[in-house]
Structure 1
Amino acid sequence: MNTQWSAFMQSRPASAVQPTADACVLNDLSHFGLLRVSGEDAEGFLQGQMTNDMREVTAGHSNLCGWCTAKGRMLASYRALRQGDDFLLQTPAGNMATSLKRLQMFVMRSKVTVTDASDELVRFGLTGNCVEALLQPHFTSLPDETNSVVEQNNLILIRLSGEVPRFEIIGPVDESISLWEALESGTTTGDSHYWALQNIRAGIPTIFPETAEAFVPQMTNMQLVDGVSFTKGCYTGQEVVARMHYLGKLKRRMYLAHISGDFEPKPGDALHAANSQSGQGAGKVVDAQAADGGFDLLVVIEVANAENEKITLGETGPALEIRNLPYEFTSESE
């Protein structure tokens, strides 16, 4: 974390935020890392690595994308955006070392540089029905669609999906501190758990080291959240991803679920269904956060068992209550 930003955050009053519908919440997002991909071949390089079309990442649009092995299994998930001629890839901090090392291995003769920009730029989020009114005095216009971007005064503002309006701000430390101070009188401070819960309820998958290589993108609904392009051309793992899209029948996909009690699930935890015939088990936890006297989860489950069988955490853990995602499964994901 940027040392100036770290000192600033330590000086702010902390508050534990419960996820209520009317909360107006500021979130430090330093638990995410940031990769910078620069050079005249940057777009072409990333086009050959990521699941989404990097030509669509512009000054006005960001996207989600996955990075796969040759077998089509996701190593990491990112939010991709532009800063001038450079690309920025945001991912959980735990993915940074592997992402940086492996991406640099693939550069080869391309005119591309991949660096860790986590300390260069601050990231923080703003969630709640109040946020548009709070942001309007500081931006001449706000992004009007999910994944759209506005840049002003060196600050990048991204509209994200969610139950209520949600934005992320990325920028230099001085400008970020000034904006945070201007916003905090009308908000309360959240933590990384609160922000993760918003992603879970929005149905946005996050790949952690514990789940690296566990899922093909479609298993985590990446195609339903603008995270996969099926027309962009070749990239690592594309043949497997495309084959499942055009020829295969998706046997696993991601669901939103809830469990009661204090049995805390973790990314990568195994799920159990008595009638599962798969050698890979009934499914895995993608992410989970405390909510409503238990935990909300994103889980990848066998489609055949998800709605008709009792699914539990492990063989003896609590049962999952499947809830509705904020988007519908398409016919191609059946």
Structure 2
Amino acid sequence: MIDRVGAVAVEALEPESRDAGVAAHYGDPMREQRTLATAVGLVDRSHRGVVAVPGPERAGWLHSITTQHLADLRAGQGTELLVLSPNGHVEHHAQVAEDGTTTWLDTEPGAAGELLTFLEKMRFLTRVEPRDATAELAVLTLVGPRAAEVVPDLKEPEVRAVPGPKFAAGSVPATPTTVYDVRVLPEGGFARRGHLGIDLLVPRGSVDDVVERLGVPLAGLWAYEAMRVAARVPRLGLETDHRTIPAEIDLLAPAVHLDKGCYRGQETVARVHNLGRPPRRLVLLHLDGVATDQPPAPGTAVTREDGRAVGYVGTALRHFELGMVALAVVKRNVPDDAVLRIGESVAAIDLE
């Protein structure tokens, strides 16, 4: 919706951003943040990749090659899943929706092709026909405490608590660890109520009709990212690197079933969970905002006062209430009260 009045495209402000193709804001980023925090706004996330997986064996097949329990996924349900490397490192993170004939996976911008390549390599003789559906469906997201008034009758997400280390086999229910409610929309596509809002996956030709029917104020991606950071929700490629394992960035609860059959990377997941000490952790940092008013770039080192690197910045931004904040991944042994530095700024871990 970068053709709307007041829209400023992400690439006009951040030429190298992975989020090119959608609006960063519509003229007032702080006001748009406040709208998402206190009321409801509609965010264009149509740059996300979408993969469709039709076929009669899709549920069991996806169950066998991903981290989530999908064997009995039913129409009208959604969840999250990960694809891991053989060593248990996170390669893909996808939101899931099942409509009864197709399982839809939406993922990071530009990642649909790589995810599809992986799926095609794992097909063997399975009756599934995965395809890149990014050109078919656009992702829009309603965010805010009044989102459920705009698309009513969607149940709140169900997220199961992560079991403790060395839990008894069979004690975890054989269902997805997270269940999102999904229903069909009048224009086609569907709505899925997730952790950060209600995602609308709609035919690209119907986007303008959906926007007009909803009649909700537009908010840019910058405002959405501020809500995500404040909620400590990681994003693949920003709060992850080539060594990231699920337990480091709090993806066990939403996306990993710890008591299902073997899948690629499962041994690492089980070992780290049973030992209980992943090497790194995801934290929200408060930056002093005195030395500079520019958020640090993704990948900027987080250091101790003596200059030793202890982690890196994923997403940093200015929040309308919290001020300058950053999601970062730091070593597990960094104390909660440690004085940290990011470039010229002093940073402290948010303990709430």
**TM-score over 0.5 (shorter chain):** yes
Q: Which of 281, 285, 289 is matched with 2:313 structurally?
A: 285
Q: Out of 111-120 and 142-151, give the one that drifted further.
A: 142-151
**Distance in 1 between residues matched to 2:338 and 2:81, nearest whole Å:** 32
| Pair 1:242-2:270 in alignment | yes
Q: Which of 311, 322, 326 is matched with 2:349 structurally?
A: 322
**Partner residue of 2:3?**
10
Deviations 1:116-147 (CA, angstroms, capped at 9, x unpaired): 111111210112233333334xxxx2333352
**Distance in 2 between residues matched to 1:257 and 1:160, nearest whole Å:** 25
**Partner residue of 1:149?**
182
Q: 1:55 to 1:312 in 2, by over 3 A?
A: farther
Shift of 1:69: 0.4
**Distance in 2 between residues matched to 1:288 and 1:57, nearest whole Å:** 36
Q: Which of 47, 53, 63 is matched with 1:47 structurally?
A: 63
Instruction: State the percentage of identical aligned residues.
Output: 23
| Pair 1:198-2:210 in alignment | no
Deviations 1:168-218 (CA, angstroms, capped at 9, x unpaired): 11122455432310223xx32112222222222222211128944231000
Alignment length, in residue pairs?
A: 303
What residue ranges of structure 1 are gaps of 5+ in the alignment?
Answer: 1-5, 326-334
The 5 Å alignment of 1:57-72 reads 57-72=73-88
Shift of 1:219: 0.2
Q: 1:75 to 1:120 in 2, by over 3 A?
A: same
> Are the aligned partners of 1:31 and 1:192 in contact in 2 as well (CA < 8 Å)?
no
| Pair 1:160-2:189 in alignment | no
Q: Which of 144, 149, 163 is matched with 1:133 structurally?
A: 149
Deviations 1:152-182 (CA, angstroms, capped at 9, x unpaired): 43341122224xxx21111224554323102
Shift of 1:12: 5.5
**Partner residue of 2:259?**
231
Report SS of the residue matched to 2:334.
helix
Q: Structure 1 segments of 4 or more deviating over 6 A?
A: none
Q: Could you tell me the TM-score, scaled by structure 1's length?
A: 0.80
Hey, which of these two has a bigger chunk of helix by percent? 1
**Partner residue of 2:332?**
303
